Structure 1
Amino acid sequence: MTEAAKEYYEKLFPGNESEFARTDPEFTEFFTNFSCDEVVNQDDLDDRTRMMAILATLLGCQGIDEFKVMVPGALNAGLTPVEIKEIVYQACAYLGIGRVRPFLTAVNEIFADRGITLPLEGQATTTPEDRVEKGEQAQVDIFGDGMKGFAQSGPEESRHINRWLSGNCFGDYYTRGGLDYAQREMITFCFLAAQGGCEPQLTSHAAGNMKVGNDKAFLIKVISQCLPYIGYPRSLNALRCVNEAAKTQ
């Protein structure tokens, strides 16, 4: 491996050798050189942001085994237990509990092994009475005034889903502490890019990212850092969605 790859790998996983180093040495060498040197040194994305994006991407693509490897690396890179938990919690709104449960279990097990006491400090800022109102305000803050009245919009037979989007997706998740709007929009972008088949929503959230300060150049950096974990097709789809969103700004 290159010296830069060795240095970065050791930074994330001090004293730990890849489980494939013995069985698949050639693969381990070129993948680690790519992901821990060539990709990492492509741009100036900081380690904490990079690891947030990677964890969200692994949730999106259902990469549970790699996720278990990367959570300790994320902690070593400076992510807090609250930040990691918030990434997993928010994934429920975009992936559903059926796909998120194994990741929540994995985080709890890793935290327990590291002596991190659970439950963590609560981060909720809404109540059952104001979650819809505050959730819709979060939508307005992120996407603009066009979201005013969203919770009561749409055909009567499906209006409840818009209300749920305001109250649950945004009111229950986006209003929580631990992550700010820019970080939450970034991880949402990663959830959608990694699972694929959500290009309309991905384009919409690329635009939302841009509205909260995550510009086109930033999103390209995020895609680049996540490419080793989701491959080229979904990364190129995400890049196309970013380019489409940029035209609307």
Structure 2
Amino acid sequence: MKLKKNDPDFFEIFNNFNNKEILEYVSISKRTRFIITLATLITNTSKEKYAIAVRDALEVLSPVEIKEVLYQSVAYVGLGKTFELFEITNDVLIENAIQLPLESKSTVARENRHEKGLEIQKKYFGDDMIQSMIDNAPEGQERFNDFLAGYCFGDFYTRDALSDQDRELATFCILATLGGCENQLRGHVLGNFNVGNDKEVLIDALTILLPYIGFPRTLNALAIINEY
């Protein structure tokens, strides 16, 4: 409301583009649109916008699903950007009379998280690609593949509440928002295809992202999608 009062020209331009014109071109569900929006706001650390989006998302996403989008982002965005957003999320949920902590959605133990993460990597990207990555790791740098399998995929991708399609789409949106992650973005375009998100879904996602991430990062991501 402050923006509408103090910068009416900008408010009208952005509102018309983001809430009207953009929506004419997308066919994905409102639920999926909120997953995309939450993912990009987390990545940009847009605290005020994120808090509003969490509140509004409760219309179509469960509290657990909202929290899982945040969990999914941590390995890609980093703790520095996400730590405060956990508190913001919790504050909004408490304001809406939601009891915390939420039910745990972890499905792995310390003993099998690496194995289960590796299984998901191979499911999304293929045995050959993952084995090649492991085999070709420079000496002394093998730990990063272990971290990917155990932490990124083992600790987070194995969690319940979001589907494979939800998690890979959120990851695509996070990487597109970050920018400068083109190699990883290529891998996750393929990952999206392998879990059932087709090219149209990714283009719809980019359409939703455009007002939040700008044209350069949007067009870079679109060029990568069009490589396939």
Compare 171-180 and 147-156 and name the one that shifted more.
147-156
1:132-154 Cα offsets, whole Å, 9 max, x none, are: 11100001111112256579642
How far apart in 1 are the matches of 2:92 and 2:140? 43
What's 1:205 paired with?
Answer: 188
1:43-69 Cα offsets, whole Å, 9 max, x none, are: 211100011001101122222222122
What's 1:140 paired with?
Answer: 122
- Please point out which of 181, 190, 195 is paired with 2:164: 181
Identity of aligned residues (%): 43
Compare 113-122 and 149-158 and name the one that shifted more.
149-158
- Offset of residue 240 of structure 1: 1.2
Q: Is the 8 A contact 1:83 1:179 kept in 2?
A: yes
- Offset of residue 41 of structure 1: 2.1
- Please point out which of 213, 218, 227 is paired with 2:210: 227
Counterpart AA for 2:31: R
Q: Would you say 1:238 and 2:221 are equivalent positions?
A: yes
How far apart in 1 are the matches of 2:52 and 2:171? 21
Give TM-score, length-normalised by structure 1.
Answer: 0.87
What's 2:152 paired with?
Answer: 169
How far apart in 2 are the matches of 1:43 and 1:56? 17
What's 2:89 paired with?
Answer: 107
How far apart in 1 are the matches of 2:129 and 2:186? 17
- Please point out which of 39, 42, 45 is paired with 1:62: 45
1:21-47 Cα offsets, whole Å, 9 max, x none, are: 222222222211211111112121110
What's 1:34 paired with?
Answer: 17
What's 1:14 paired with?
Answer: none
- Offset of residue 182 of structure 1: 1.1
Higher RCO, Cα 8 Å, sep 6+: 2
Cα distance change of structure 1 residues 233 and 151 upon mapping to structure 2, 3 Å threshold: closer
How far apart in 1 are the matches of 2:14 and 2:106? 40
Counterpart AA for 2:104: G
- Offset of residue 161 of structure 1: 1.1
What's 1:13 paired with?
Answer: none
Cα distance change of structure 1 residues 158 and 69 upon mapping to structure 2, 3 Å threshold: same
Compare 130-139 and 20-29 and name the one that shifted more.
20-29
Q: Is the 8 A contact 1:136 1:170 kept in 2?
A: yes
Task: Count residues in correspondence.
Answer: 227
Structure 1, unmatched stretches of 5+, are 1-17
Structure 2, unmatched stretches of 5+, are none
Q: Is the 8 A contact 1:52 1:187 kept in 2?
A: yes
How far apart in 1 are the matches of 2:27 and 2:156? 29
Counterpart AA for 2:172: F
Q: Would you say 1:23 and 2:3 are equivalent positions?
A: no
Matches within 5 A, 1:39-58: 39-58=22-41
Counterpart AA for 2:176: A
Q: Would you say 1:196 and 2:167 are equivalent positions?
A: no
- Offset of residue 176 of structure 1: 0.3
DSSP 3-state at the match of 1:20: helix
Q: Is the 8 A contact 1:151 1:166 kept in 2?
A: no
